[in-house]
Chains A and B, each alone.
Chain A
Amino acid sequence: SQQGEEDPQALSIQEGENATMNCSYKTSINNLQWYRQNSGRGLVHLILIRSNEREKHSGRLRVTLDTSKKSSSLLITASRAADTASYFCATDAYRIQGAQKLVFGQGTRLTINP
């Protein structure tokens, strides 16, 4: 079962507008990561935010984390057609003997219209 839930499931905006996606999760985490997936291919790591961080920036990306609400948001500013993709949040809940298990949400399908 998925731990995270993204909201909205689909988002369609005009090029140049900002896109905001939200993610909620259920258990305590070590960190939360956002990934992008183009057309059912491999995932690309976008940004990681640790549980003791509240906000992080990377280029046109801004991620926030509210551990009290168990939620995160991804903001893409000045969107471009190339940003059209599915976006997933993934939580890294625990480590056992160095193992790592990412738990993904169901994703937000973002479409940027020219």
Chain B
Amino acid sequence: DAGVTQSPTHLIKTRGQQVTLRCSPKSGHDTVSWYQQALGQGPQFIFQYYEEEERQRGNFPDRFSGHQFPNYSSELNVNALLLGDSALYLCASSLVLSGGTRAYEQYFGPGTRLTVT
């Protein structure tokens, strides 16, 4: 049973550039959430995708955008990178149960370490 996978593992970008991070959810999961974790801090919610739509968004600027594909995989795009965007980006997947309720537990991938210089 494949868990959540993320690519790439590490990435180094320059200020002003754009970056795309990728996530494949756990097998059978249909919802993907993205989190940003700065060094020494807890993860902060960026947004959540379900049925190819953004369903919920955290307090992040429009430079952060995403997409979910029909196979439930997802991308996180960050434009005009700032030094402060350096962080570990985590993807988590979850599942909508029969009857439309959502399972509470989220399964996290190993993360992508983004360094902006």
Contacts and interface: CB of A to CB of B under 8 A. Distances in A.
Interface of A: 1-2, 4, 30-31, 33, 35, 40-45, 48, 88, 90, 92, 95-107
Contact of B108 (A1, A40, A44): A44
A42 B90 contact: yes
Contact of A43 (B43, B94, B96, B100): B43
Contact of A100 (B33, B108, B110): B33
B33 to A, nearest CB: 7
Given A100-B94, A102-B106, A42 B111 contact: yes
A22 B58 CA distance: 25
A107 B41 CA distance: 7
Interface stretch (B14-22, B44-52, B62-70, B71-79): B44-52
Given A40-B111, A45-B106, 7 more contacts: A33-B104, A42-B4, A43-B90, A99-B50, A99-B55, A101-B58, A104-B42
Given A98-B50, A99-B56, A88 B110 contact: no
B88 to A, nearest CB: 6
Given A44-B108, A45-B105, A96 B56 contact: yes
A97 B55 contact: yes
Nearest to A107: B42
Interface string B82-93: 000000101010
B25 to A, nearest CB: 13
Nearest to A6: B42
Contacts of A45: 105-108
Nearest to B105: A45
A110 B96 CA distance: 33
B40 to A, nearest CB: 8
Contacts of B96: 98
B49 to A, nearest CB: 10
